[in-house]
Chain A
Amino acid sequence: MSAAADGEAALAERLRQRVASQFGRSLHIRTLDTGSCAVCEQEIRLLSAPHYDLHRLGFFLTPAPRHADLLMVTGPMIRAFDVAARKTYEAMPGPKLVVATGACALGGVYPADAFVHGTVGEILPVDVWIPGCPPSPLALLQGLLVAVDRLAEKVSGLSFTADGADS
Protein backbone atom coordinates (compact mmCIF):
# COMPACT_ATOMS: atom_id res chain seq x y z
CA MET A 1 0.00 0.00 0.00
CA SER A 2 1.41 3.40 -0.96
CA ALA A 3 2.16 6.12 1.58
CA ALA A 4 -0.58 8.33 0.22
CA ALA A 5 -3.13 5.57 0.59
CA ASP A 6 -1.69 5.00 4.05
CA GLY A 7 -2.31 8.61 5.03
CA GLU A 8 -5.77 8.37 3.56
CA ALA A 9 -6.51 5.31 5.64
CA ALA A 10 -5.27 7.07 8.75
CA LEU A 11 -7.48 10.03 7.93
CA ALA A 12 -10.51 7.79 7.49
CA GLU A 13 -9.65 6.11 10.78
CA ARG A 14 -9.54 9.45 12.60
CA LEU A 15 -12.87 10.43 11.04
CA ARG A 16 -14.34 7.16 12.25
CA GLN A 17 -13.08 7.82 15.77
CA ARG A 18 -14.72 11.23 15.67
CA VAL A 19 -18.09 9.86 14.51
CA ALA A 20 -17.82 7.14 17.12
CA SER A 21 -17.19 9.63 19.89
CA GLN A 22 -19.96 11.95 18.72
CA PHE A 23 -22.70 9.60 17.53
CA GLY A 24 -21.54 6.33 19.08
CA ARG A 25 -24.81 5.78 20.91
CA SER A 26 -27.21 7.62 18.63
CA LEU A 27 -26.38 6.95 15.01
CA HIS A 28 -28.79 7.57 12.16
CA ILE A 29 -28.51 5.33 9.14
CA ARG A 30 -29.54 5.95 5.55
CA THR A 31 -29.43 3.08 3.07
CA LEU A 32 -28.54 3.40 -0.60
CA ASP A 33 -29.26 0.71 -3.18
CA THR A 34 -26.87 0.92 -6.12
CA GLY A 35 -28.06 -2.18 -7.90
CA SER A 36 -28.48 -4.91 -5.32
CA CYS A 37 -30.68 -7.96 -5.90
CA ALA A 38 -33.14 -6.81 -3.17
CA VAL A 39 -31.90 -9.35 -0.61
CA CYS A 40 -29.50 -7.01 1.18
CA GLU A 41 -32.41 -4.56 1.51
CA GLN A 42 -34.53 -7.30 3.03
CA GLU A 43 -31.84 -8.05 5.60
CA ILE A 44 -31.42 -4.37 6.42
CA ARG A 45 -35.17 -4.03 6.93
CA LEU A 46 -34.97 -6.99 9.30
CA LEU A 47 -32.49 -5.07 11.46
CA SER A 48 -35.46 -3.22 12.94
CA ALA A 49 -37.43 -6.45 13.38
CA PRO A 50 -37.98 -7.73 16.93
CA HIS A 51 -35.32 -10.40 16.59
CA TYR A 52 -32.54 -7.85 16.08
CA ASP A 53 -34.01 -4.49 17.08
CA LEU A 54 -31.12 -2.19 16.27
CA HIS A 55 -32.75 0.61 18.24
CA ARG A 56 -31.66 -1.05 21.46
CA LEU A 57 -28.09 -0.38 20.32
CA GLY A 58 -28.78 3.27 19.57
CA PHE A 59 -29.00 2.90 15.79
CA PHE A 60 -31.89 4.42 13.89
CA LEU A 61 -32.91 4.19 10.24
CA THR A 62 -33.78 7.55 8.72
CA PRO A 63 -35.16 8.21 5.25
CA ALA A 64 -33.57 11.67 5.04
CA PRO A 65 -29.85 11.82 4.26
CA ARG A 66 -29.92 15.24 5.90
CA HIS A 67 -30.36 13.46 9.23
CA ALA A 68 -28.05 10.57 8.50
CA ASP A 69 -24.58 9.99 9.94
CA LEU A 70 -23.93 6.69 8.21
CA LEU A 71 -24.65 5.50 4.68
CA MET A 72 -25.14 1.77 4.11
CA VAL A 73 -24.44 1.16 0.44
CA THR A 74 -25.51 -2.07 -1.23
CA GLY A 75 -24.99 -3.19 -4.80
CA PRO A 76 -22.10 -2.95 -7.26
CA MET A 77 -22.47 0.83 -7.82
CA ILE A 78 -24.10 0.94 -11.23
CA ARG A 79 -22.62 3.71 -13.37
CA ALA A 80 -26.07 5.09 -14.24
CA PHE A 81 -26.52 5.66 -10.50
CA ASP A 82 -23.41 7.81 -9.96
CA VAL A 83 -25.29 11.09 -9.79
CA ALA A 84 -27.81 9.86 -7.27
CA ALA A 85 -25.11 8.23 -5.14
CA ARG A 86 -22.98 11.37 -5.07
CA LYS A 87 -26.01 13.55 -4.36
CA THR A 88 -27.02 11.33 -1.46
CA TYR A 89 -23.53 11.36 0.01
CA GLU A 90 -23.23 15.14 -0.37
CA ALA A 91 -26.65 15.62 1.19
CA MET A 92 -25.36 14.07 4.42
CA PRO A 93 -23.87 16.40 7.04
CA GLY A 94 -20.33 15.65 8.16
CA PRO A 95 -18.76 13.83 9.85
CA LYS A 96 -20.22 10.86 8.03
CA LEU A 97 -19.43 7.21 7.48
CA VAL A 98 -19.94 4.95 4.48
CA VAL A 99 -20.45 1.23 5.01
CA ALA A 100 -20.14 -0.97 1.93
CA THR A 101 -22.60 -3.79 2.50
CA GLY A 102 -22.63 -7.16 0.81
CA ALA A 103 -20.48 -8.98 -1.69
CA CYS A 104 -21.74 -6.89 -4.63
CA ALA A 105 -20.66 -3.67 -2.96
CA LEU A 106 -17.29 -5.23 -2.19
CA GLY A 107 -16.71 -6.39 -5.76
CA GLY A 108 -17.44 -10.06 -5.26
CA VAL A 109 -20.18 -10.56 -7.83
CA TYR A 110 -19.79 -8.10 -10.70
CA PRO A 111 -16.43 -7.17 -12.18
CA ALA A 112 -16.00 -3.52 -13.18
CA ASP A 113 -17.37 -3.03 -16.69
CA ALA A 114 -19.58 -0.75 -18.77
CA PHE A 115 -22.54 -1.34 -16.44
CA VAL A 116 -21.03 -1.12 -12.98
CA HIS A 117 -18.02 0.32 -11.20
CA GLY A 118 -17.61 -3.03 -9.48
CA THR A 119 -17.12 -1.70 -5.97
CA VAL A 120 -18.65 1.12 -3.95
CA GLY A 121 -15.17 2.36 -3.14
CA GLU A 122 -14.84 3.62 -6.69
CA ILE A 123 -17.34 6.41 -5.99
CA LEU A 124 -17.65 6.88 -2.23
CA PRO A 125 -14.99 6.83 0.52
CA VAL A 126 -15.77 3.57 2.30
CA ASP A 127 -14.98 3.32 6.02
CA VAL A 128 -16.27 -0.15 6.85
CA TRP A 129 -16.69 -3.22 4.65
CA ILE A 130 -19.29 -5.88 5.52
CA PRO A 131 -18.85 -9.07 3.43
CA GLY A 132 -21.51 -11.70 2.92
CA CYS A 133 -24.07 -12.53 0.26
CA PRO A 134 -26.22 -11.32 1.85
CA PRO A 135 -24.65 -10.29 5.16
CA SER A 136 -26.99 -11.63 7.81
CA PRO A 137 -28.56 -9.14 10.24
CA LEU A 138 -26.06 -10.32 12.84
CA ALA A 139 -23.21 -9.54 10.49
CA LEU A 140 -24.75 -6.16 9.79
CA LEU A 141 -25.05 -5.42 13.51
CA GLN A 142 -21.42 -6.37 13.99
CA GLY A 143 -20.42 -4.14 11.10
CA LEU A 144 -22.34 -1.19 12.52
CA LEU A 145 -20.81 -1.71 15.95
CA VAL A 146 -17.38 -1.89 14.38
CA ALA A 147 -18.15 1.32 12.52
CA VAL A 148 -18.75 3.14 15.80
CA ASP A 149 -15.89 1.40 17.61
CA ARG A 150 -18.07 -0.48 20.02
CA LEU A 151 -16.72 -3.77 18.74
CA ALA A 152 -13.19 -4.43 17.59
CA GLU A 153 -12.99 -5.75 14.05
CA LYS A 154 -11.67 -9.31 14.09
CA VAL A 155 -11.27 -10.18 10.41
CA SER A 156 -7.72 -8.86 10.24
CA GLY A 157 -6.82 -11.33 12.95
CA LEU A 158 -8.33 -14.34 11.18
CA SER A 159 -6.22 -16.48 8.92
CA PHE A 160 -8.93 -18.64 7.28
CA THR A 161 -6.62 -21.59 7.46
CA ALA A 162 -7.60 -24.73 9.36
CA ASP A 163 -4.77 -26.33 11.31
CA GLY A 164 -3.81 -29.99 11.79
CA ALA A 165 -3.43 -30.45 8.08
CA ASP A 166 0.00 -31.96 7.96
CA SER A 167 -1.21 -35.30 9.22
Chain B
Amino acid sequence: MPLWFARGLRRGIVTTHYPARPDPSAACLPTPPAFRTGMIDRQLAGELVAAGPSQALHRDGDVLVFDVSRCTACGRCQEVAPLAVTPSGEFELAGTSQAAFVKKIGLVLEAGQ
Protein backbone atom coordinates (compact mmCIF):
# COMPACT_ATOMS: atom_id res chain seq x y z
CA MET B 1 0.00 0.00 0.00
CA PRO B 2 2.74 2.59 0.77
CA LEU B 3 3.81 1.89 -2.82
CA TRP B 4 0.43 3.04 -4.08
CA PHE B 5 0.45 5.99 -1.72
CA ALA B 6 3.80 7.17 -3.06
CA ARG B 7 2.63 6.66 -6.65
CA GLY B 8 -0.45 8.73 -5.97
CA LEU B 9 1.58 11.58 -4.51
CA ARG B 10 3.99 11.49 -7.45
CA ARG B 11 1.16 11.27 -9.95
CA GLY B 12 -0.65 14.35 -8.74
CA ILE B 13 -4.14 15.39 -9.77
CA VAL B 14 -5.41 14.68 -13.27
CA THR B 15 -9.06 15.51 -12.74
CA THR B 16 -10.64 17.82 -15.24
CA HIS B 17 -11.97 21.23 -14.19
CA TYR B 18 -15.04 20.80 -16.36
CA PRO B 19 -17.64 22.30 -16.05
CA ALA B 20 -15.97 25.20 -14.21
CA ARG B 21 -13.40 25.55 -16.99
CA PRO B 22 -13.40 23.99 -20.48
CA ASP B 23 -11.44 20.79 -20.87
CA PRO B 24 -8.62 20.82 -23.47
CA SER B 25 -9.14 17.16 -24.33
CA ALA B 26 -12.51 18.09 -25.84
CA ALA B 27 -10.69 19.49 -28.86
CA CYS B 28 -10.05 16.04 -30.35
CA LEU B 29 -13.59 14.71 -29.90
CA PRO B 30 -15.67 14.00 -32.99
CA THR B 31 -18.45 16.54 -33.30
CA PRO B 32 -21.57 16.85 -35.43
CA PRO B 33 -21.25 18.80 -38.66
CA ALA B 34 -22.11 22.43 -39.27
CA PHE B 35 -23.56 23.26 -42.69
CA ARG B 36 -22.67 26.39 -44.61
CA THR B 37 -25.93 27.90 -45.61
CA GLY B 38 -25.90 28.96 -49.18
CA MET B 39 -23.47 26.31 -50.37
CA ILE B 40 -25.87 23.39 -50.25
CA ASP B 41 -28.33 22.91 -53.08
CA ARG B 42 -30.84 20.14 -53.57
CA GLN B 43 -28.41 17.86 -55.37
CA LEU B 44 -25.73 18.19 -52.72
CA ALA B 45 -28.38 17.74 -50.05
CA GLY B 46 -29.38 14.49 -51.74
CA GLU B 47 -25.79 13.34 -51.73
CA LEU B 48 -25.40 14.24 -48.08
CA VAL B 49 -28.53 12.34 -47.12
CA ALA B 50 -27.35 9.35 -49.14
CA ALA B 51 -23.92 9.45 -47.52
CA GLY B 52 -25.23 9.48 -43.98
CA PRO B 53 -25.46 5.97 -42.52
CA SER B 54 -27.58 7.12 -39.58
CA GLN B 55 -31.06 8.61 -39.75
CA ALA B 56 -29.73 12.06 -38.86
CA LEU B 57 -30.24 13.76 -42.21
CA HIS B 58 -33.26 13.88 -44.45
CA ARG B 59 -34.60 16.33 -46.97
CA ASP B 60 -37.94 18.01 -46.57
CA GLY B 61 -38.72 19.99 -49.71
CA ASP B 62 -36.31 22.91 -49.78
CA VAL B 63 -35.10 22.24 -46.31
CA LEU B 64 -32.35 19.88 -45.16
CA VAL B 65 -33.48 18.56 -41.79
CA PHE B 66 -30.66 17.67 -39.44
CA ASP B 67 -31.60 15.74 -36.29
CA VAL B 68 -28.55 16.24 -34.07
CA SER B 69 -29.75 13.61 -31.60
CA ARG B 70 -29.36 10.88 -34.22
CA CYS B 71 -25.98 12.08 -35.51
CA THR B 72 -23.05 9.78 -34.80
CA ALA B 73 -20.47 12.34 -35.95
CA CYS B 74 -19.08 9.75 -38.34
CA GLY B 75 -17.88 12.50 -40.66
CA ARG B 76 -19.10 10.94 -43.88
CA CYS B 77 -21.04 14.03 -44.90
CA GLN B 78 -17.92 16.12 -44.40
CA GLU B 79 -16.09 13.79 -46.81
CA VAL B 80 -18.79 14.41 -49.41
CA ALA B 81 -18.48 18.20 -49.24
CA PRO B 82 -15.47 19.32 -47.19
CA LEU B 83 -16.14 22.97 -47.93
CA ALA B 84 -19.86 23.05 -47.32
CA VAL B 85 -19.80 20.81 -44.23
CA THR B 86 -17.35 21.43 -41.41
CA PRO B 87 -17.09 20.10 -37.84
CA SER B 88 -19.20 22.19 -35.51
CA GLY B 89 -16.87 21.60 -32.56
CA GLU B 90 -19.83 21.28 -30.24
CA PHE B 91 -19.75 18.36 -27.82
CA GLU B 92 -22.11 19.64 -25.08
CA LEU B 93 -25.19 18.40 -26.86
CA ALA B 94 -27.48 17.15 -24.10
CA GLY B 95 -31.02 18.37 -24.54
CA THR B 96 -34.20 18.19 -22.52
CA SER B 97 -36.64 17.88 -25.40
CA GLN B 98 -36.32 16.02 -28.66
CA ALA B 99 -37.64 19.01 -30.54
CA ALA B 100 -34.56 20.96 -29.56
CA PHE B 101 -32.37 18.64 -31.64
CA VAL B 102 -34.12 19.10 -34.98
CA LYS B 103 -32.36 21.77 -37.08
CA LYS B 104 -33.57 23.03 -40.42
CA ILE B 105 -31.02 24.15 -43.01
CA GLY B 106 -32.43 26.08 -45.90
CA LEU B 107 -31.18 25.00 -49.35
CA VAL B 108 -30.13 27.42 -52.04
CA LEU B 109 -32.46 27.29 -55.00
CA GLU B 110 -30.80 27.03 -58.42
CA ALA B 111 -31.34 29.92 -60.82
CA GLY B 112 -34.60 29.81 -62.67
CA GLN B 113 -36.69 28.62 -59.85
Contacts and interface: CB of A to CB of B under 8 A. Distances in A.
A90 interface: no
A116 B97 CA distance: 22
A149 B61 CA distance: 37
Contacts of A133: 72-74
Classify chain A's interface size: 35 or more
A151 interface: yes
B26 A138 contact: yes
A50 B13 CA distance: 8
Nearest to A130: B94
B35 A161 contact: yes
Classify chain B's interface size: 35 or more
Judged by DSSP, the binding face of A is loop
A89 B105 CA distance: 37
B96 A16 contact: yes
Interface in B67-83: 68-74
| Most A C-beta atoms less than 10 A away, residue of B88, B95, B96 | B96
Contact of B94 (A51, A121, A142, A165): A142
Given A107-B70, A131-B71, A153 B35 contact: no
B69 A107 contact: yes
A106 B84 CA distance: 26
A117 B62 CA distance: 30
B50 to A, nearest CB: 16
B2 interface: no
Contact of B91 (A108, A128, A136): A136
A93 interface: no
A52 B15 contact: yes
Top 9 A-B pairs, shortest CB-CB distance = A143-B94, A108-B70, A133-B72, A156-B100, A165-B36, A165-B38, A108-B54, A106-B69, A155-B95
Given A52-B16, A142-B92, 20 more contacts: A56-B15, A108-B55, A108-B69, A108-B72, A126-B98, A129-B98, A129-B101, A135-B93, A136-B29, A138-B29, A139-B91, A146-B96, A151-B92, A153-B95, A153-B96, A155-B93, A158-B68, A162-B86, A165-B38, A166-B38
